[in-house]
Each structure stands twice: as C-alpha cells, then as structure tokens.
Amino acid sequence: MELFWRLFDTLILIAGLAYILIKYIAPFFDKRKKEIIEALNQAEESEEKAKALLANAKKQLDDVKKEMELLKEKAKTEALIEKERIIEETKKTAAKIYERYEVLAQTELNRQKREIYEEAVRMSVELAQKIILDELTPELQEKINKKLIENIGEAIA
C-alpha cells in the first residue's frame, strides 16, 4: 500500500506540474514566442528602413561630392578670370606709371638742360667780362663810350 500511495502522490505531483505547465508556463512561453517573433519582424523592418536610409544617404553624399567638384571647378574658373583681370589692371597701372615717369623724366631733363644753359650763359658772360676788363684799356673804353653815345644819339634822332 505504501507503494500505491507513493505512486498516487507522484501522479498527483505530475498532474499538478502538468496543470501548472499547461495553465501558466505554456501561455508564458507562447506569449514570449509571439513577442520574440514581433521583435524579429520589427528588427527586419528597421533593417530595411536603415538600408533604405543608407542608400539615400549614399546617394546624397554622391550628389554633394558632385556639387563640390562643380563648385571647385567654378572657383578655379573664377580665380583664373580674377587673375587675368588683376594682370590686366597691373599692366594698365604699370603703363600709367611708366607714362608719368617719362613725363617726369622729360621735365627733369628740360630743367637740367635749362640750368646747364643758364650756367653756360652766366659763365660766358663772366668770362667775357673778365676778358673785356683785362684787355680794355682806358683809351679803348673812351672810344667805346663815344661810339655808344653816338649810336644812342642817332637812335634817338
């Protein structure tokens, strides 16, 4: 009989465990299985969205790279145009400076020529005066004075 009660207790224990398993544990695992399946589905959807976003980002990056290249080429072209403009302005400015320099140099040359001419005339007059004073005797001076007075008299008459 003891064996019977032991078997009976074991069967009751197994039945209780089976009842608990069916009543509580099986629905828990079914619910958990559904949650895992939903999470996997959401993960797949998120992965697809992420792939789409990645593809879109790569496309945008390629577009930005192309635009940057275009901007770089445009900047180079504008820089070359600006360089040419600056060179032309520099040439014009250099030509103006050269013209001003030529005018200034010619003016300075004319001034120097005039000064040299005036100096030559002054030295000639001084030399002539010295020669005249050295060689002019009082008799010659009197003759010159008489002749000058006669010429003045004739000019007045």
* pLDDT tens string 119-151: 988 898 888 878 777 777 777 778 877 888 888
The number of angstroms, rounded, from the C-alpha of 68 to the middle of its chain's C-alpha atoms is 17
Domain boundaries in the chain?
A: 23-156
pLDDT for position 3: 86
Give CA separation, 31 vs 18, 21, 44, 45, 81, in Å: 18, 14, 20, 21, 73
**The pLDDT of residue 157 is above 80:** no
The tokens for 45 are 């959807």
- For the segment 19-66, what is each residue's pLDDT rounded down to a tens digit? 887 888 778 888 889 999 999 999 999 999 999 999 999 999 999 999
Q: Which two tokens stand for residue 145?
A: 């004075």
Contacts with 144 (C-beta within 8 Å, 6 or more apart), sequence order: 136
pLDDT of residue 145: 79
Cα separation of 30 and 113, whole Å? 120
- DSSP state letters, the chain: -HHHHHHHHHHHHHHHHHHHIIIIIHHHHHHHHHHHHHHHHHHHHHHHHHHHHHHHHHHHHHHHHHHHHHHHHHHHHHHHHHHHHHHHHHHHHHHHHHHHHHHHHHHHHHHHHHHHHHHHHHHHHHHHHHHHHHH--HHHHHHHHHHHHHHHHHHH-
Q: Whole-model pTM above 0.75? A: no
